Structures are given as C-alpha cells and as structure tokens.
Amino acid sequence: MTAPRLPRLLFISKPLLPPYRDGTKCLVREICCHVQVAEPSVLGDGLPAAELGNGTRVESVYATAGSYAPSAWDNARAALWVLFRSRAQLWQFVFAPNVTSSLVGRLLKWFRRVPVVQTIASPPKSFEQPARLLFGDIIVAQSEWTRRQFYESYHSLQKTPPRIEVIHPAVSATLQAQSDTAVKEARVEVGAAADAQILLYPGDLEMSQGAARVAQVAEEMLARHPRAHIVFAYRNKTPAAAKCAEELSRALSHERVTVIANVRNIHALVQASSAILFPVDDLYGKVDLPIVLLEALVLGTPVLVSEEGPLAELKGALQVPLHRADAGDQFEPSAWQSAVDWVLSEEGSAEQLRQAQAALPLFSAERMTRSYEGLYRELLAAR
C-alpha cells in the first residue's frame, strides 16, 4: 500500500543557494534537512542541492544567490512565482519584516488562501507599526526579546497582539571540528602567529556598533595580553563596508590587528580563536542569535556577548555588561577587558567550554524542527 503523500511546505526567503553563511539560509536549510511532516521546497535555481536534503525541491526562481539583500526585481519575481505557480499547502515566510515586504506577503496570503507561518528572521528597524509588519497565521520570533518588543508595541497602541511563538535558531548537526591544517591556514590568512591568542569579532562593520566597541578596548587588550591578536572578520553586506574597514584599519594601525573581509574558512578561524567578542545590542540585519556564535559554541571557542537584547538568551556564552549603569548608553570597556582576562585564563577557558557543551542541546536542529512541525500540523489540520 502506498503511503499518503505529505503536504508540500514552501519556504519564501532569500535564494536558497550556496554559500550558506546567512542566518536565514541556515535556518531554512536545517528545517529542510530534518522535517518529517511535510515535503519542503525552496526558491532557488531549480537544481538539486545536497545541502538541503534529498527530499527538498528547489524551485527555479532565481538565477544566482544574489547579494546580502535581494534586489527589488528579485523580490518581485519571487512574489509573482508564489502567486501564480506555487502549489504548496503551507507557506513559511522567513525574512526581516519591513512594511513593503510584509504587505506583499499579506496580499499573497489573501489571494491564495494558504496558511502561513511567518518567521521573523531578524528584528525590524522599528517596532512602531507592528500590525504592518506581521501577517502570518502564526508568527515565530527567534528570541523572547523580539516577542516582547512586539507585544509592548501592540499594547502601547491599545491593540491585541497576534499569537507569537518563540523558537530559537539552531546550529547545523553536520558542523565538525576543523583539521589542524585548516586552523594553521586560517592563522596565516589573518597574519596571526602560531601561538597567538586570537580575539575574533565575526560581524558586520556598518550595521551595528560592535566593531567600534571592540576597537575601543583593543589597545588595552593588546597591552595586557602580549600574545593577543585582534581580528575583525566581516562580510560586505553593503557598499559602506569597505569604507568602514578602511577607517577601522587606520584607527587601529597595529601589527597585531587584522581587518579582513570574507575569510576563506570562517569555521577554522573560529576554532583558531581564543575568544569571540560580540558587544552588540542592535541585531538589525542579523538573526537574534547569530549562527557564527552558535558554531563557536560547538567548536569549543568561548563566546562573549552583551547581556542586553536577544543575546542575553544565548546560553553557554558569557554575558557581559554593555553599558555603564550610571551613564545611560555609554559603553563600559572595563567589563569587557575583565571578561577577556577571564576567558584567556586556563580556569576561565575550561569553565566556558563546560557551559557551552551543556547548552548545545538547546540549539539542536532536531529540537528546532520539531517545534516548527507542531505549528505545521496545527495549521494543516485547521485547513
């Protein structure tokens, strides 16, 4: 007897094409690889993709992976394909909500009458117009912090918020420790000595204050730790990135500071590092818990993050105060210098490794997918 055909689940997101270094792509990829209650399909170039699992259908919508932010033409082409050609019984939108894209999503849902899970890929620029941003039958935030911001915004307008679930992002189950050769090559690429204690900032330069804050503590950390080597590893998300990198390099003209774009093997560089520094509270343009930080936990590298915003929910990392209690939004460098002292010590490094290993089950792809599957079943049953 032939088993009944599973319902089709369509992910509406950025082009699901390599490289998979974007948080949105990684989220969709992990669900595709683990989902059991639906047959997943994604918007791509129409060619099979082993990274997405053998059962994933790649629809022919995009010609290339495109840039960090899809163009208006790419978005329009995807919307037209979904409107006229999608045959899925369930849609999952995964993008950072903005008024225009959310309006398009709302119209597509209305025309096609397809149930929708809307995942907030990253926090919006503003929470002031929540009803214009959220349109799914079930909304999924990737942190309690983001859900709380939306709830508070609705309540301030004396409106009832929609249902918002929280499902934290996951790290790939296929991520493995990098070889000694790969780690050595990563050190060479960033110009770090074989015994250097690499302090890595793996984030954008132009969309948050993270890099500028690391720069504020750089001189002191280099003075306190003679083997320290600070690396800013960034991606060119916007045309402003190159200019920011040039300014940062001039401000930190030191042989033990490297500013580098698009490293060849970010996993090897993370594993080569003694600590990840991420003093960020504005996660616009990034998932609430950036994938590279979850990967660092898997690879055994201590992670230092802000105790404010979504990153306060990153179990296994060391939460560090970002602002002085008596000075509003003024950055507190001494707390980060002390935290670096701690994780570079033998005792601190061992303790952070223990905490990271204990937290890893919270960010498993299986756990995340089972949570989404509960929502899929609910919407499909209602339909």
Do 191 and 307 lie in one domain? The reply is yes
pLDDT in the model for residue 305: 97
In angstroms, the CA 48 to CA 50 distance is 7
- Which segment, 174-178, 181-185, 279-283, is predicted with the most confidence on average? 181-185
Do 278 and 290 lie in one domain? The reply is yes
Interacting residues of 46 by C-beta distance below 8 A, sequence separation 6+: 58, 59, 60, 61
Asked, for residue 2, whether it belongs to a domain, the answer is: no
Percent of the chain whose pLDDT exceeds 90: 79
Counting Cα atoms < 13 Å in the Cβ hemisphere of 197 gives 19
pLDDT in tens, 97-106: 999 999 999 9
- The answer, yes or no, to whether residue 303 has pLDDT greater than 60, is yes
- If we measure between CA atoms, which residue out of 82, 104, 63 comes closest to residue 8? 82
Q: What are residue 164's DSSP bridge partners?
A: 139
Asked, for residue 175, whether it belongs to a domain, the answer is: no
In angstroms, the CA 379 to CA 115 distance is 6
Please report which confidence band the pLDDT of residue 117 belongs to, taking 50, 70 and 90 as the band edges: very high
- Give the alpha-carbon dihedral of 306, 309, 313, 314, to 10 degrees: -40
Using an 8 Å Cβ cutoff, are 93 and 82 in contact? no
- The answer, yes or no, to whether residue 20 has pLDDT greater than 90, is no
Do 152 and 94 lie in one domain? The reply is yes
Q: What is the reported pTM?
A: 0.93
pLDDT in the model for residue 328: 64
Please report which confidence band the pLDDT of residue 239 belongs to, taking 50, 70 and 90 as the band edges: confident
Better-predicted residue by pLDDT, 188 or 62: 188
What CATH number has the domain bearing residue 375?
A: 3.40.50.2000
pLDDT in the model for residue 173: 85
Do 39 and 121 lie in one domain? The reply is yes
pLDDT in the model for residue 17: 87
Do 320 and 226 lie in one domain? The reply is yes
Using an 8 Å Cβ cutoff, are 16 and 42 in contact? yes
Number of domains in the chain: 2
Average pLDDT, the chain: 93
pLDDT in the model for residue 288: 93
- The answer, yes or no, to whether residue 66 has pLDDT greater than 70, is no
Please report which confidence band the pLDDT of residue 279 belongs to, taking 50, 70 and 90 as the band edges: very high
pLDDT in the model for residue 18: 84
Residue range(s) defining the domain that contains residue 25:
8-170+364-382
Do 331 and 200 lie in one domain? The reply is yes
- If we measure between CA atoms, which residue out of 187, 189, 263 comes closest to residue 227? 187
Asked, for residue 299, whether it belongs to a domain, the answer is: yes
pLDDT in tens, 225-235: 999 999 999 98
Q: What's the whole-number mean pLDDT along residues 114-120?
A: 98
Asked, for residue 144, whether it belongs to a domain, the answer is: yes
CB contact burial 253-268 (16+ within 10 A = b; e otherwise): eeebbbbbeebeebbb
Do 100 and 214 lie in one domain? The reply is no
Do 91 and 211 lie in one domain? The reply is no
Percent of the chain whose pLDDT exceeds 70: 96
Asked, for residue 3, whether it belongs to a domain, the answer is: no
pLDDT in the model for residue 1: 52
Using an 8 Å Cβ cutoff, are 318 and 339 in contact? yes
pLDDT in the model for residue 3: 60
Q: What's the whole-number mean pLDDT along residues 13-24?
A: 88
Better-predicted residue by pLDDT, 236 or 222: 222
Please report which confidence band the pLDDT of residue 329 belongs to, taking 50, 70 and 90 as the band edges: confident
Do 164 and 184 lie in one domain? The reply is no
pLDDT in the model for residue 68: 61
Asked, for residue 356, whether it belongs to a domain, the answer is: yes
Please report which confidence band the pLDDT of residue 321 belongs to, taking 50, 70 and 90 as the band edges: very high
- The answer, yes or no, to whether residue 345 has pLDDT greater than 60, is yes
Choice among 125-129, 296-300, 341-345 with the minimum mean pLDDT: 125-129
pLDDT in the model for residue 74: 82
SS3 278: strand
Asked, for residue 142, whether it belongs to a domain, the answer is: yes
Do 196 and 115 lie in one domain? The reply is no
Asked, for residue 346, whether it belongs to a domain, the answer is: yes
Q: Is 272 exposed, middle or buried (0-12, 13-18, 19+ CB in 10 A)?
A: buried
Do 232 and 357 lie in one domain? The reply is yes
Please report which confidence band the pLDDT of residue 2 belongs to, taking 50, 70 and 90 as the band edges: low
Do 253 and 151 lie in one domain? The reply is no
pLDDT in the model for residue 207: 83
